[in-house]
Structure 1
Amino acid sequence: MSNLVWKPAVELAQMIRDRHLSAIELLDAHLEQIAQHNSKLNAICTLDEENARTRAKQADEALARGENWGALHGVPVTIKDLFETTGLRTTAGSMSLKNYIPQQDATAVSRLRAAGAIVLGKTNVGDLAGGYQGLNDVFLRVNNPWNLECTSGGTSSGSAAAISAGLSPLDLCSDFGGSIRQPAHFCGIYGLKPTDRRVPTTGHIPETPDAPRCMRQMLTVGGLARSIQDLALCLKIIAGADVSQPEIPPIPLDQPTDTSLKSRRIAWSEEWSLYPVAEEIKSAMQQAAVKLVEAEIEPKLWVPNFDFYAAWQAYYKLAAYNLVYAQSLTPRDIQKNLAFLLRDSTQGDRSFRKLGNIARIGLPISLNPTLKGYFETLTQRDDLIASMDQELAQWDVWLCPVAMAPAFTHRQRGAAIQVDHHHVPYSMASGAYVVPFNLTGHPVVVIPIAQTKDGLPIGMQIVGKRWKEMELLAIAQQIDTVIGGFRSPAGY
């Protein structure tokens, strides 16, 4: 194993620029790691070795001529298999797209290439961006590097497994309902969900290639990495207006303030009243607060005066409206989705099923969407955004759990998940703590903070103000220095 595969992308790029490392050497190190471990993880579903090798050779030749392509010159990266990539298969985990070869890059992919990144391959996903596991009909199931019997999360399933196991230093991925943050939590890595509409989603599936552009709210493009510096660099590259998506505002990234962590206003919650978390997660949140206090920082125990139940309802209504025309579903897709909804609404303790029944919320909209209902949901969303903005105004950041439980064992989509003595519906166990911030659009960074007694990672969300990602990342870096830090899984 080469130590190179554990270095941050920022450091690797500097090593290449300083001629301490060639792009070919770096590519070979990652290809060796992939050859050794990917067969048991199924993290990378399409490897583009030939083109990556050609591009790495060109990167070295360009540097020898004094040409610098950009901040990621010669650094290999992976791309979640929901982003279109020119000439490289993009399946979205769907049999209907198993042979789809795009003729163009997604906007975020093209920006990474323009910054000198080398696309190493595509990372495995849940089918058509569905569910909190890496399950689809095209490729084998994604396994968690920390325990192969557990899921790595979803839908950035292969993304998180690849980063955690050293197969890639940086992965471009997306988050519509926790798809960056839950895998980061499950795999012990760092993730960034930017502000809604900060990064263009052009070329992201869904929508399927023949569908109108329907994903108008809540879908965000961000990254997974093993350091916050890499998340910050990635955002600087991919953020910004896009002629193909005129609603992306030309707002420059904010400039972080030079403020010590002791002067920051930090709130934290160990759990929310409707959604009890596993005791090990609650303990990890408490220990994180203790570490901050020991560093002479004073976080305040706090839960916002915010209607999380209304946010849950509004999220699944708006998700249904966004998705109803975005996917060209085959009869098998429809059958699988109905089976998922049946399991999700019938498995788990009755009190949680009554609280979270997503079939009751979304199915009527999917069967009979109305323009009036869509606008009413958007109006409700506006009110909830304003409420969250008002609550967060008094704080620089808010720390809270990512999910009700750590990584769970593989199971059918929709099967209930045990959270201590509770049996919780599938979507609620992984989604309750993440979907509110998709709805409101607030940026979130996830950092690893602890491990369970069984050795599974525990992550923490750090929530910031909308359009203040660089400030959020700077604070997250300060907090990470006190309570976090990446650890690689054993055996990699």
Structure 2
Amino acid sequence: MANLTFTPAHQLAQMIRDRQVSAVEVLDAYLAQIAQHNSKLNAICTLDEENARNRAKQADEALGNGEIWGALHGVPVTIKDIFETAGLRTTAGYIPLKDYIPQHDATVVSRLRLAGAIIMGKTNMAELAGDYQSTNSLFPRVNNPWNLDYTPGGSSGGSAAAVAAGLSPLDLGNDIAGSVRQPAHFCGVYGLKPTDRRISTAGQIPEVPGMPVCIRQMITVGCFARSLEDLRLCFSLIAGADDRRPDVPPVPLDIPTGKSLQNLKIAWIDQWIEVPVAAEIRAAMQAVRQKLVQSNIQIDPWLPQDFDLSHILNLYGRLAAYINIYAQPVDRYNVRRSLTQIFRTATQGDQSLRKLGDFSRLLPELLNPSLKGYFETLTERDHLTAQLDRALEPWDVWLTPVAATVAFTHCPAWSAIDIDGKAYPHAVANGAYTMPFNLSGHPAVIIPIGQTQTGLPIGMQIVGKRWREMELLAIAQELDKVVGDFRNPLDY
């Protein structure tokens, strides 16, 4: 059972196709793992056992008739509770949606189903995807499988915890400020944030049903897995144009160049000057560089000449304010959460760091948004994206930390985080290394590279060129062979 629940999704699919194991047996293994461990993790908030069992039986019958549904035939997966699933409750952790049963799948869900995947259930998350922890008013908080007293991150904490603990081989999340990358780092799994608009967001909340589609920039659909091969498979299945989202361009998947690591030019940085990372993260990043140097791989310290983090985070915040103001419902639950976020990020943490992550500076845009201001912000974003495109051109990938902190103990929403004795504003500690690439639209992969002395995972962010995800994933896989340090949590 344990072997099945920690077997990568692509291998499970091959085993099912080869009749080494049945889809029912694989599902039973995962349901047993969920029954044993989910009550302490709260990673899965809605389990669809009956329908999953029926579908697994149908998958085995289809194979018996010589029929293969697709690349994930008979493989059970989970879906972040932010994506609509036809006939299966979808709440986004938001009380007014506690009984919402969608009539249609989100595009990415339907594409996984078409590939033969079986939806076991939905994974728990931050309310309306609005926090770096995974708590909401509907379900118990999600706990980190490496230490239950610690957060798995957010907003896709249930996704990362489920994959790390062997409750699911594959999960879909979304990322507008690090919601795939930070939980992958906190839980020691692999995560992908693709290029902006590479994957359709049709059927995704936080625009609650009936509201216009407002979040048209920076938000992406991503994947969690225990192997880079699974990320590549999942991405290839869900990417591409969608008539439900005409702004998703029909850009074909790129073909990797096949360069060896010794022929790559790799950029590296162990921390932003303005936002130092925890000492153990910096040591892990430096160990990565040393291993690559010892393997005769060209890796150089680098930061774009015009990389102004203060300007980047300010621009990110302004655009986030514009695209969220009409997407977020105005009710006592959401207003209370938003005011708490603004107040705590403006008043908690080191004063110099607060200047980087003070959301109160966005009040003019929030209280008096203008169309001109929105277009000016988009224009500035275009300039930044083009600037980073040019800066990255000589490099194959750029290695950076994922966050200033590793997983931290559960704490009140948006409160300051202690990092080596210094109080960091919540958004700065968790988002200063991820937000820039939501703003610019560049893809990024997370791989685990080590652990702290107390056994908490440390991940690394690998940033690539826009629209070159397959190349990025191929390079990440080669890097993973040299510097990767994936481990399963103990006792699972």
Distance in 2 separating the partners of 1:2 and 1:145: 15
**Secondary structure at the counterpart of residue 19 of structure 2:** coil
Answering whether residue 406 of structure 2 is matched by residue 371 of structure 1, we say no
The match for 1:3 is: 3
* Per-residue deviation, residues 168-202 of structure 1 (Å, max 9, x unmatched): 00001110110000000000000000000000000
Alignment of 1:344-355 (within 5 A): 344-355=345-356
Instruction: Give the drift of 1:298.
Output: 2.2
Distance in 2 separating the partners of 1:336 and 1:179: 17
Distance in 2 separating the partners of 1:50 and 1:231: 27
Instruction: Give the drift of 1:459.
Output: 0.2
Distance in 1 separating the partners of 2:353 and 2:485: 34
The match for 1:194 is: 194
Asked if 1 retains the 8 angstrom alpha-carbon contact of 2:151 and 2:409, the reply is yes
The match for 1:430 is: 430
The match for 2:337 is: 336
Partner amino acid, structure 2, of 1:24: V
Distance in 1 separating the partners of 2:308 and 2:389: 13
Instruction: Give the drift of 1:43.
Output: 0.1
The match for 1:154 is: 154
The match for 1:458 is: 458
Alignment of 1:71-470 (within 5 A): 71-305=71-305, 306-361=307-362, 363-470=363-470
Instruction: Give the drift of 1:331.
Output: 1.3
The match for 1:66 is: 66
**Secondary structure at the counterpart of residue 449 of structure 2:** strand
Distance in 2 separating the partners of 1:307 and 1:245: 33
* Per-residue deviation, residues 41-71 of structure 1 (Å, max 9, x unmatched): 0000000000000000000000100000000
Q: Which moved more, 1:414-423 or 1:168-177?
A: 414-423
Asked if 2 retains the 8 angstrom alpha-carbon contact of 1:400 and 1:462, the reply is yes
Distance in 1 separating the partners of 2:243 and 2:111: 13
The match for 2:43 is: 43
Instruction: Give the drift of 1:409.
Output: 0.6
The match for 1:53 is: 53
Distance in 2 separating the partners of 1:3 and 1:211: 44
Instruction: Give the drift of 1:359.
Output: 2.0
The match for 1:28 is: 28
Asked if 1 retains the 8 angstrom alpha-carbon contact of 2:450 and 2:485, the reply is no
The match for 1:16 is: 16
Instruction: Give the drift of 1:452.
Output: 0.5
Asked if 1 retains the 8 angstrom alpha-carbon contact of 2:356 and 2:428, the reply is no
* Per-residue deviation, residues 77-135 of structure 1 (Å, max 9, x unmatched): 10000000000000000001111100000000000000000001000010011010011
Give the aligned CA root-mean-square deviation in angstroms. 0.8
Instruction: Give the drift of 1:309.
Output: 1.5
Instruction: Give the drift of 1:360.
Output: 1.3
Distance in 2 separating the partners of 1:233 and 1:249: 20
Distance in 1 separating the partners of 2:373 and 2:18: 57
Asked if 2 retains the 8 angstrom alpha-carbon contact of 1:194 and 1:222, the reply is yes
Distance in 2 separating the partners of 1:323 and 1:71: 36
The match for 1:483 is: 483
Instruction: Give the drift of 1:308.
Output: 1.8
**Secondary structure at the counterpart of residue 298 of structure 2:** coil
Asked if 2 retains the 8 angstrom alpha-carbon contact of 1:401 and 1:461, the reply is yes
Which TM-score applies when normalising by structure 1? Answer: 0.99
Q: Which moved more, 1:377-386 or 1:287-296?
A: 287-296
**Secondary structure at the counterpart of residue 245 of structure 1:** coil
Asked if 2 retains the 8 angstrom alpha-carbon contact of 1:96 and 1:330, the reply is no
Which TM-score applies when normalising by structure 2? Answer: 0.99
The verdict on how the C-alpha distance between 1:471 and 1:238 changes in structure 2, with shifts beyond 3 A counting, is same
Partner amino acid, structure 1, of 2:202: T
**Secondary structure at the counterpart of residue 56 of structure 2:** helix
Instruction: Give the drift of 1:451.
Output: 0.3
Distance in 2 separating the partners of 1:339 and 1:195: 31
Asked if 2 retains the 8 angstrom alpha-carbon contact of 1:275 and 1:404, the reply is yes
Q: Which moved more, 1:98-107 or 1:302-311?
A: 302-311
Q: Which moved more, 1:107-116 or 1:291-300?
A: 291-300
Instruction: Give the drift of 1:304.
Output: 1.7
**Secondary structure at the counterpart of residue 450 of structure 1:** strand
**Pairs aligned (count):** 491
Instruction: Give the drift of 1:364.
Output: 2.2
Asked if 2 retains the 8 angstrom alpha-carbon contact of 1:349 and 1:424, the reply is yes
Instruction: Give the drift of 1:327.
Output: 2.1
* Per-residue deviation, residues 5-25 of structure 1 (Å, max 9, x unmatched): 111101000000111010000
Partner amino acid, structure 2, of 1:276: P
**Secondary structure at the counterpart of residue 224 of structure 1:** strand
**Secondary structure at the counterpart of residue 249 of structure 1:** coil
Instruction: Give the drift of 1:330.
Output: 1.6
Asked if 2 retains the 8 angstrom alpha-carbon contact of 1:94 and 1:137, the reply is yes
Q: Which runs of 4+ in 1 moved over 6 A?
A: none
**Secondary structure at the counterpart of residue 299 of structure 1:** strand
Instruction: Give the drift of 1:307.
Output: 1.8
Distance in 2 separating the partners of 1:298 and 1:376: 39
Structure 2, gaps ≥5 residues long: none
Instruction: Give the drift of 1:328.
Output: 1.7
